[in-house]
A and B are shown apart, each in its own frame.
Chain A
C-alpha cells in the first residue's frame, strides 16, 4: 500500500491508499460522506486532486482499488485490457491525460478518442473525470462517439433518442398502451419502448413483450421493446419463445453488488446468446440493455475494496461500465437521481453525477444514456433536471428516459417528460434516430421543419394510433 502525500498551504495531506486518494479527490456528494470516504475539507479535496493529477495513468494497471483475487469485476477489467489501444496514452499522468482529451475534443478528433476505449480502465476514466469541470465533461463527452443498432441506429451525431417508459402500477394492458401512444405522438421511443413491470413474473413479462411487439408490428415502428425484468425472468421468457428484442439487467461495479442483484457474468452471457439467436434486429445486433447508478454498491453494502476500505461511488459506477461494455450493449443508462438524497443530495450533485456518468461511459465505449430523475425527498426540482437535460444534449448523450408528464405512476419518481425531449431537440437542433424519424414522417407526425407536429385528434395518423387504445 503506497502512501501518497502533498503539502498545500503549509499543511501536509496524506492519502493512505489509491482508493482513499480517488475518494478524497471526488467532488462533494452525500454518498461518499455516508460511506465515510469523502474529503474532510475543500483543501484536502484539492490536495487529493493535485496528487491524482501527477499519478501515472499506468498505475491503475498495477494497483487496484478492489482486489483481483476476490472480485470478478476487477478480473474482467484487467484480463480484457488492451495494451495496444492503451499505448498512445501509456506514458501520461492523469492530469496530462485530461489535457490530451481536451485537446483532441477541441480539434474534433473523434477517432483518436474512440480508439482508446479498450485500452482504458474504469478507474483511469473515473480518476480523469475527477479533475474535470462540468464543461470539460461535456466537451469531451460529445466527441466520444459510440454508435449502436438494433432496429434503430443510436448515437449518431446530431441525434437525441429517448426511451419511452410506459409504466403502469398494475401492468394494465390498456394503461400501458395509452402511455405508449402518448409517447409516440410526441416522437419518443426511438431508443426503446421499455417497461418496468410491476410484477417480476415470467407470465407478466411475456404478456408485456407480446403487447409491445404487437404495437411495433401494427405500425411498423423501427424501434425495439424491452421489459425490464430480472435477467433470469427474461431467460424464462426466451425459453417460452417470447418476442424478446433486448435483455435487460441492472449491474454494479463490484462482484458483491452484482450478487445482490442476483447476477453473474455467466448469466448475462447466457441471456445475450439467447437473444442473439433470435436474430430480431434489422440494422444491428446489439441486444443488451443495462441500468446503473451511483450509490448502488453502497446501498447493497458492497462498496469496499482492498483492506475493507470504502471505494467512492463514482469510481464504483465507472466499474459497472466495465461490466456492461463486455456484453456490447445497445443501451446503457445511469439512473442518476433515483436512489435518493443519501447518495446525491441536491440538484448540483445530480447534475455533476449525470455528466460524469455520461463521460465515463462514453470514454469506455458505451452507448450512454441518462435517466434524468429525482425523488420528492431530494433537493431537486424540474429546473435542475432541465439544466442536466440540456447539458446532456450538448454532450451528445445517446438517449434520455421519458415518461408521461414527468410522473412515473408505478415507480413513484419523476423523470423527463415527452415534451421535455421535444424541447431539448428543438433548443439544441437535435433529431430522433434516423429510422424512427422516417417513420414519424410516414405517420405524418413530422413537420417540414423537422419538429414533431401536434396532431388534431381527427387527423388520420392520430385516428390510426388511437385505435390501438380502444379495448
Chain B
C-alpha cells in the first residue's frame, strides 16, 4: 500500500470508505481486491448462517436465569423466507406468567454472532441502569424476529419488552446488535409502535453503556407515556 503523496489514487481512497481506485486486471478486479471482497462477503454469510450457541450466551450472563424458546420457523432456510413464522412462538412453548415490569428477549436474528459477542455485555449494562424495575427471566430465542418479543412479552405478562437481536450483516460489520423496545407487548404490534437503538458493537459501533443509557431513558419515557414508538420518539429527550 502506498501512502498519500506517493500514490495519486490515494486521494480518492482517503476521501471515502467506498471501494474506490481498486485498480484493474483487464476489465476485472485484480486478484488481491477480488479476494478482499470475497473475504468480507464470506464473513457476512457465515454470520448469518452460524447457529446460535446458548452456552456462549449463558457463559456471558452468569447468575441470570435464561429460558430458551424457538420461533415457529423450523430452520434457517425457512426463517429467512418466512418472517411471519419468526414472529410466532413454536407450538407448545410454555413460558411462566411473571407480571414483571420488563422482559428481555435475546434473539439470534440475522447474526447469531452479534448475540454471542455483545448480548452479555449489553444485558449487564442495561440491568445496572434499571434498579427499580422487576425483570422477568431472560429469554433466549432461536430463529427469532423482532416481533417474537410481542408473543414472549404477552406470555410473560410484562409491561415492556426489549428485544436484543442480531442485525443483518453488512460487508464491513457482521456483528451489530440491535435493541427494540415495545411497550405493552402483544401480537399484532407494528413497527411504528417500537423504538430502536441499532449498531451496538463496541469498539466500532455503539458501546454497551451508551446503548444501555438510551434504552433505559426510552423505557422511562415509555412508562410515563404508556406507549412506545413514534409517539415516544417525538416526546423523549434522549441522551446522545
Identify the A interface with B (CB < 8 A).
30, 33-34, 166-169, 172, 174-179, 181-182, 341-342, 345, 375-378, 381-382, 403-407, 409, 412, 414, 417, 419, 422-423, 425-426, 451, 454, 457-458, 462-463, 466, 469-470
Contact = CB atoms under 8 A, between A and B. Distances in A.
Interface stretch (B9-17, B63-71, B100-108, B230-238): B9-17
B24 interface: yes
Contacts of B213: none
Nearest to B172: A409
Contacts of B226: none
Interface stretch (B76-84, B114-122, B200-208): B76-84
Contacts of B47: 376
Given A178-B12, A457-B8, A342 B18 contact: no
B28 A419 contact: yes
A345 B79 CA distance: 11
A458 B33 contact: no
Given A451-B27, A469-B15, A470-B11, A33 B21 contact: no
A405 B37 contact: yes
B92 to A, nearest CB: 24
Contact of B18 (A345, A404, A423): A404
Contact of B19 (A169, A341, A407): A407
Contacts of B20: 178-179, 181-182, 404-405
B45 interface: yes
B171 A422 contact: no
A363 B84 CA distance: 35
Given A407-B37, A419-B29, A34 B84 contact: yes
15 contacts: A34-B82, A342-B82, A345-B80, A345-B81, A376-B169, A377-B168, A405-B18, A405-B33, A405-B37, A406-B19, A414-B41, A422-B28, A425-B27, A457-B7, A466-B8
B27 A377 contact: no
Nearest to A166: B18
B110 interface: yes
B128 interface: no
Contact of A417 (B7, B12, B29, B110): B29
A342 B29 contact: no
B106 to A, nearest CB: 19
B81 A30 contact: yes
B97 interface: no
B81 A469 contact: no
Nearest to A173: B15
A407 B11 contact: no
B220 interface: no
B44 interface: yes
Contacts of A469: 11-12, 15
Contacts of A414: 41, 171
B151 interface: no
A409 B16 CA distance: 9
B48 interface: yes
B11 A175 contact: no
Nearest to A178: B15
A376 B45 contact: yes
A462 B82 CA distance: 49
B169 A172 contact: no
A377 B110 contact: yes
A407 B12 CA distance: 16
From DSSP, what is the main secondary structure of chain B's interface residues?
Answer: loop
B96 interface: no
Interface centre among A168, A172, A469 (most CB of B within 10 A): A469
Contacts of B11: 178, 466, 469-470
Interface centre among A34, A182, A457 (most CB of B within 10 A): A182
A257 B73 CA distance: 27
A403 B169 CA distance: 19
Given A376-B41, A458-B8, A466-B11, A168 B81 contact: no
Given A176-B16, A178-B16, A405-B22, 17 more contacts: A34-B81, A34-B82, A174-B16, A178-B11, A182-B20, A342-B83, A376-B48, A377-B80, A382-B41, A406-B19, A406-B37, A409-B16, A412-B171, A414-B41, A422-B24, A423-B28, A466-B8
A377 B41 contact: no
Contacts of A181: 12, 20
Nearest to B47: A376
A38 to B, nearest CB: 11
Contacts of A167: 18
Contacts of B13: 178
A404 B16 CA distance: 10
Contacts of A166: 18
Contacts of B84: 34
A182 B12 contact: yes
A341 B73 CA distance: 14
A462 to B, nearest CB: 7
Contact of A169 (B17, B40, B81): B17
Contacts of A182: 12, 18, 20-21
B18 A381 contact: no
A342 B12 CA distance: 37
A92 B84 CA distance: 41
Nearest to B11: A469
Interface in B22-40: 22, 24, 27-29, 33, 37, 40
Given A168-B16, A345-B80, A375 B27 contact: no
Interface centre among B7, B18, B41 (most CB of A within 10 A): B18
Contacts of A470: 11
A114 to B, nearest CB: 32
A405 B40 CA distance: 12
B114 to A, nearest CB: 13
Contacts of B40: 407
B187 interface: no
A466 B24 CA distance: 18
Contacts of A454: 24
B171 A175 contact: no
A30 B78 CA distance: 10
Nearest to A451: B27
A210 B82 CA distance: 43
